[in-house]
Structure 1
Amino acid sequence: MITKTSIHALIKLMGDTDPMVVAHARTKLLEYGDQIIPDLEVLADDCYFKEEQLHIVTDVLNTLKFSKVKKGLIAWLNTDQKSLLEALFLVCSYQFPDLDKHEFEQQFMSIRRQCWLKTNTKQTSFEKISALNSVFFDDLNFSLANSSTCTPFDLLVNAVLDTREGRGISLGLIYSVVAQSLDIPLYGVTSLNMRVPFVLAYLDQSNLLSILNWGVHNNGVLFYVDMSLKGMIVEPQYLKEAFVKDGLPHNKGQFEPSSNSLIIKRYLTELRIAYENQINFRYKLNDIDELLEIFKAV
């Protein structure tokens, strides 16, 4: 049975002069797993611990918190549903281990309620996007981050929800999660080619493609939404022409909704680049590489 007393005793051992005793205490704490994180945090605040003890306790805490994120993403990959919101919470909790899941979800629900008030079943697909854009870019003032160098906080959606500034992928992820919660068929389209923009595809559920006759094989996509352009609707033909012009891949799968697994892999890849851009965050690169390794088969 794990008790605060036993955890406290192991922390005490970390002040021992024998390195083997210290190593044993550390290993034992790690074996207990993330269930001891709350108790460990409380005990680590005790002022009478020695500096070297606190250093090791902090290391154990960080290791346990990272392990919790990693196990969460592994479990997520093994589920059938693969909730995008759940995966986003797990990734954000890597940088913000004290992130409250309920509060995180409530921020999305708040945006959903505002969008619900402006959308209805009688609206066309185009009108629904117009309504969503009105909430996102006018009422809530979401915008594209101005800085030329991407930081992790431009990507981590909990930070973007607070600052209202993000990159195309972080804005798009928030937008698509809200849209899908309203049964609006808007899904991320991406690849691991970092030159390829992250866009959202609106699926044709009303059989409008034959009427619109965009002039291309649409793969069931009615149109695309570009979050880097304030939710502008992009015709399939225009998007494909842009890909050809920029020398980007334009195979059939490139224009279809991506799996949530691939979207999160792209999200982690962009987050890695952002960490690499910041000298103070480069120590996190090994962790991100370890998380990306989970998605190697995606």
Structure 2
Amino acid sequence: MQETKEISALFNLLDDPDQEVFSTVSDRIVDYGRGIIPNLENLWENTLSEEVQERIEMLIHKLHYNDLTKDFTDWKSNPYHDLLFGSLLVAKYQYPDLATAPVLQELERIRRNVWLELNSFLTSLEQANVISSIVYNYYNLKGVEMGYNNPDDFFIHKVIESKKGNALSNGVLYLLLCELLDINVKAINIPKQFILAYFHNDYDQYEGSINPQHKIHFYIDAISGQIFSHKDIESYFKRISVPITPFYFQPMSHKRIIQLQLEELAKCFENPKFQYKYDELMALSKLLDE
């Protein structure tokens, strides 16, 4: 963006100690939109004051966040709620300049490797075993416990780069592959877990009279690809003393999965220094819920 006299004047006020003045200046800068980011980056490189650099960084972050809020609003308004695009938006919170092409290319490479091993004569269990063999053995995807010390464990592009993720991010990768391969695997609402279920092909989730549990072949642990039986899941419910109801076996919507990603990612920033990130991520989740 061409630097006008007004922009130069605003930049000169970024070091003003009066918080009210700075608030007014920052609001005016943000009003310019993302086009002013290169100007801010250039100013950062030519500024010696760490305090001013921090203010510039927060302004750039706010500009990116405003754009991301608009992108999530558009995603929410689209009736399809594409899971891959939603996951990339989550990653763009921390990596606003994320290049999506490498993610799409690598996802397609994995899909093709799985597709080459599939055929119409395989049972649902054999299909799941093919996917798990390619993803966890050949591709060497590793699972880590759900922790909140490393935000990268939640981002789809970082999972693909590092071949390491938690149950949620690995599960999203598994779901994306199943969608591309037209395999009826969905995430379900098991308490305190992110578990995938392989549904019968004739299951209609909008048919309210059917108990979805009766339409599930088996369950998949996204951390490792391990298969769970109905008995395994029923034992888990007994262990946590929760009565089984059909709700827990209903497929999660893509919107709910993305909300869950945002909510779990927010827990990485539950400390005073990054409280604003926690608040922003929870605001994005709430935006999808409205």
2:195 is aligned, of 189, 199, 206, to 199
Q: Which residue of 2 aligns with 1:65?
A: 64
Does the 8 Å contact 1:82/1:261 carry over to 2?
yes
**CA gap 1:120/1:283 in 2 versus in 1, 3 angstroms:** same
- Structure 1 residue 284: Cα displacement: 2.3
Corresponding residue of 1:210: none
> Across the two proteins, how many residue pairs are aligned to each other?
281
**Gapped runs of 5+ residues in structure 1?**
208-215
Aligned to 2:27: 27
CA contact (8 A) 2:107 2:177 kept: yes
Q: Does 1:273 align with 2:267?
A: yes
The within-5 A match list for 1:214-233 is 218-228=213-223, 230-233=224-227
Please list, as runs of the form range in 1=range in 2, the aligned pairs for 1:44-55 lying within 5 A after superposition: 44-47=43-46, 53-55=52-54
Looking at structure 2, the residues matched to 16 and 242 of structure 1 have their Cα atoms a distance apart, in angstroms, of 57
**Partner SS for 2:121:** coil
Checking the alignment, whether the CA contact within 8 Å between 2:212 and 2:250 is kept in structure 1 is: no
Residues 165 and 48 of structure 1, relative CA distance in 2, 3 Å threshold: closer
- 1:116-195 → structure 2 map (5 Å cutoff): 116-145=115-144, 151-190=150-189, 193=191, 195=192
Displacement of 1:16 in angstroms is 7.1
| Aligned counterpart, 1:212 | none
In structure 2, distance between residues paired with 1:271 and 1:23 = 28
Do the aligned partners of 1:188 and 1:258 also contact (CA within 8 Å) in 2? Answer: yes
- Give 1:49 shift: 7.2
2: CA distance, partners of 1:31 / 1:63: 11
Instruction: Give the whole-Å Cα distance in 1 for the aligned partners of 2:9 and 2:217.
Output: 60
Alpha-carbon contact 1:187-1:258 (below 8 Å) kept:
yes
* TM-score for the superposition, normalised by structure 1: 0.81
- The CA distance in 2 between the partners of 1:53 and 1:294, in whole Å, is 31
Are the equivalent residues in 2 in contact too, given 1:11–1:57 (CA < 8 A)? no
Q: 1:47 to 1:273 in 2, by over 3 A?
A: closer
8 Å Cα contact 1:92/1:158 also seen in 2: yes
Contact 2:7–2:29 (Cα < 8 Å) also in 1: no
RMSD: 3.0
* Residue 248 (structure 2) pairs with residue 240 (structure 1): no
| Distance (Å, rounded) in 2 between the aligned partners of 1:236 and 1:289 | 34
Correspondence 1:80-119 to 2 at 5 A = 80-119=79-118
Between 182-191 and 72-81, report the one with greater CA deviation: 182-191
Distance 1:150 1:114, change over 3 A: farther
| Aligned residue type for 1:107 | E
- 8 Å CA contact 2:90–2:261 kept in 1: the answer is no
> Would the aligned equivalents of 1:225 and 1:234 in 2 still touch at CA under 8 Å?
yes
Deviation at 1:148, TM superposition (A): 6.6
Structure 1 residue matching 2:3: 3-state secondary structure: helix
Letter in 1 for 2:200: D
Distance 2:219 2:265 in 1: 24
Inter-CA distance 127–150: structure 2 relative to 1 (3 Å threshold) = farther
Question: Aligned in 2, Cα 1:12/1:111: closer, same or farther, shift over 3 Å?
Answer: same
SS in 2 for 1:225: strand
Q: Does the Cα contact within 8 Å between 2:186 and 2:251 map onto a contact in 1?
A: yes
Q: Distance in 1 between matches of 2:26 and 2:275?
A: 25
Provide the TM-score with structure 2 as the length reference: 0.83
Secondary structure of the residue that 1:258 maps to in structure 2? coil
Corresponding residue for 1:211? none
Aligned-residue offset at 1:82? 0.1
Structure 2 gap segments, 5+ residues each: 204-210
Q: Paired residue for 2:206?
A: none
Is residue 254 of structure 1 aligned with residue 248 of structure 2?
yes
